[in-house]
A and B are shown apart, each in its own frame.
Chain A
Amino acid sequence: MANPFSAVRSALEQVSSVVWLLIDTVVEMGDRIMQRRFPFRVSTFFEQTNRTGVGSIPLVALVSFFIGLTMALLTGYQLRPFGQEQLVPQLVAVAFTRELGPLMTGIMVAARIGAAYTAELGTMTVSEEVEAIEGMGLGPLRYLVSPRVLAVFLLMPCLVVVSDIAAMCGAALISRWAFDMPFQIFAESSLDSLLIRDIVAGTVKSLLFGLIIGLVSCYRGLTVRGGAAGVGAATTSSVVTVITTVIGFDTLCNVVLVALFDK
């Protein structure tokens, strides 16, 4: 049986390595700014934003639409015996804005983009491309990590908005069909229930999840050892780690937010 202390120690080492990756990336970017140069390649950044943001819209929208639809259907049927189905829009709006939007988007982006980052950087590592970039004095963290992490960090809130809107559309559609709720009533009721606090909480979470996805997946890619098998193992491990970390941080955020603001 694995020693629990060594497992904890290994986990803490990995966390500190990810933090150092962030610090080193910022330092490399800072060095570049001191030389009065742009800290990363703009074209690479836009390629990554296109891939992370635009490329993820269909998946995020579709999955969120179905979850919103199912959520409205199930909660509506539960509330109907009490004549409270008019609460469905509020329930879906608050749940998605504050909780499910960032969480589901985080999981989908982790699976789609986190895996791609790890596999891509892992392949570059085993084929010595990363070392070549370092050997030329280009700064691999600035060149490879910063555009990827920034893209997923900045695009996550946008994807969460897409997720929220898609979920509301799904919920509105099913509410119209199953509970005879007009679209206008659904929209007004949802908007009335939304609080700035919930929107801010969702946005902060999405930024945090974006940072976690970007850093962990890049770290896993840059530390790949052992050829093609190593890339495969690192990609699987990266997706599992990122999804677990995102859910863990989501729980932590909820505890903190409830403790601070929902008393």
Chain B
Amino acid sequence: MSAEPPPIVELRDVHLSFGETKVLGGVDLCVTERARLTVLGQSGSGKSTLLRLILGILRPSAGTVFFKGRDVTKMSRRRLNRIRQKIGMVYQYSALISSLNVRDNLALPLEELTRMTPAEIDQKVDEKLEMVGMSDVRDKMPSELSGGMRKRIGLARGIIMDPELILYDEPGAGLDPVITSVIDELIVSLSEKIGATSIIVTHEMGSAFRIATRMAMLYRGEIIAAETPEDFKNSGNPVVAQFISGNTKGPILEQAASA
């Protein structure tokens, strides 16, 4: 029997409210090293918020968020910035710096956070661009790229520091099915190549099953299921079953109407 890998991210009883609006109401989640966890949930259910809590951009109203056993909610800015260097984030709309070209976007964290020489930085940028199949757009500005290309550059920037954890916020949003599959394959191959743990937030079922080694469902501010894709597919939970099938009849819409 193989030993369970240690957890890299752990959320314990995490609550978050924006004013009167409760977003998360006691989230418990454990992500083990090298796992690819997809977090599913309805639009506006707090999936992206979960990623921002892990990255320390947001602080929870209550509860703790651990990264490699260290509580990120109580860290000073300086320590948090050091931790962030081990985490890559791929944004829904790529969030590339619009005033910098592709090369400079990728080189920025290397120039600012490492003592690499310009030649070493160029080599690393080229290596990452090649990994995402985008070597020929090195000198282009983000505005000159298509949505899929921007997403891939965002991915390359996410892995430029060789992170231990990569967070993906809706990687397939706004892309056609073919490009979405290309991105999904890229996520799987990158996580295998660099050995990083991935947390992918999505509400696209096809992508979720293609990528995941584990799946979790966020519903009404809580994780109501966290299991393997096979168990998830055969889940007896009516909310999970309705979400997977996309059926209009079931507890999701009934509870939304009665709320």
Q: Mark B46-61, 1 if CB is under 8 A from A, else 0.
A: 0000001001010000
Q: Give CA–CA (A128, B87) in the complex, Å.
A: 17
Q: Given A31-B78, A139-B81, A143-B112, is A134 in contact with B95 using a C-beta cutoff of 8 Å?
A: no
Chain B residues within an 8 Å CB radius of A27 = 77
Chain A residues within an 8 Å CB radius of B93 = 127-128
State which of A129, A138, A139 has its C-beta within 8 Å of the C-beta of B95: A129
Q: Given A31-B78, A131-B57, A143-B112, is A136 in contact with B84 using a C-beta cutoff of 8 Å?
A: yes
Chain A residues within an 8 Å CB radius of B98 = 123-124, 127, 129
Chain B residue at minimum C-beta to C-beta distance from A30: B78
Chain A residue at minimum C-beta to C-beta distance from B113: A137
Cβ of A135 and Cβ of B55 under 8 Å apart? yes
Chain A nearest CB from B80 CB (Å) reads: 8
Chain B residues within an 8 Å CB radius of A129 = 95-98
Q: Give CA–CA (A139, B85) in the complex, Å.
A: 12
A133 contacts chain B at the CB level, 8 A cutoff: yes
Cβ of A136 and Cβ of B91 under 8 Å apart? no
Listed residue (A127, A129, A143) with the most chain B CB atoms within 10 angstroms of its CB: A129
Cβ of B57 and Cβ of A137 under 8 Å apart? no
Chain A residues within an 8 Å CB radius of B97 = 124, 129, 132-133
Cβ of A138 and Cβ of B55 under 8 Å apart? no
A28 contacts chain B at the CB level, 8 A cutoff: yes
Listed residue (A128, A131, A137, A138) with the most chain B CB atoms within 10 angstroms of its CB: A137
Cβ of A28 and Cβ of B77 under 8 Å apart? yes
Cβ of B108 and Cβ of A127 under 8 Å apart? no
- Count: A-B pairs, CB below 8 Å: 60
User: Which residues of B102-148 are within 8 A (CB) of A?
Assistant: 108-109, 112-113
Cβ of B81 and Cβ of A128 under 8 Å apart? no
Chain B residue at minimum C-beta to C-beta distance from A141: B77
Chain B residues within an 8 Å CB radius of A41 = 112
Size category of the A interface is 10 to 19
Cβ of A138 and Cβ of B109 under 8 Å apart? yes
B16 contacts chain A at the CB level, 8 A cutoff: no
Chain B nearest CB from A218 CB (Å) reads: 16
Q: Give CA–CA (A139, B113) in the complex, Å.
A: 10
Chain A residues within an 8 Å CB radius of B77 = 27-28, 31, 139
Chain B residue at minimum C-beta to C-beta distance from A28: B77
Cβ of A132 and Cβ of B91 under 8 Å apart? yes
Cβ of A138 and Cβ of B108 under 8 Å apart? yes
Chain B residue at minimum C-beta to C-beta distance from A24: B77
Q: Given A28-B77, A137-B113, is A132 in contact with B82 using a C-beta cutoff of 8 Å?
A: no
State which of A123, A127, A135 has its C-beta within 8 Å of the C-beta of B57: A135
User: Which residues of A60-105 are within 8 A (CB) of B?
Assistant: none
Chain A residue at minimum C-beta to C-beta distance from B111: A41
Q: Give CA–CA (A134, B77) in the complex, Å.
A: 10
Closest 7 CB pairs of A and B: A137-B84, A137-B81, A128-B95, A132-B95, A135-B89, A136-B109, A137-B85
Q: Which chain A residues have a beta carbon within 8 Å of chain B's beta carbons?
A: 27-28, 31, 41, 123-124, 127-129, 131-139, 143
Q: Which chain B residues have a beta carbon within 8 Å of chain A's beta carbons?
A: 52, 55, 57, 77-78, 80-85, 87, 89, 91-93, 95-98, 108-109, 112-113, 161
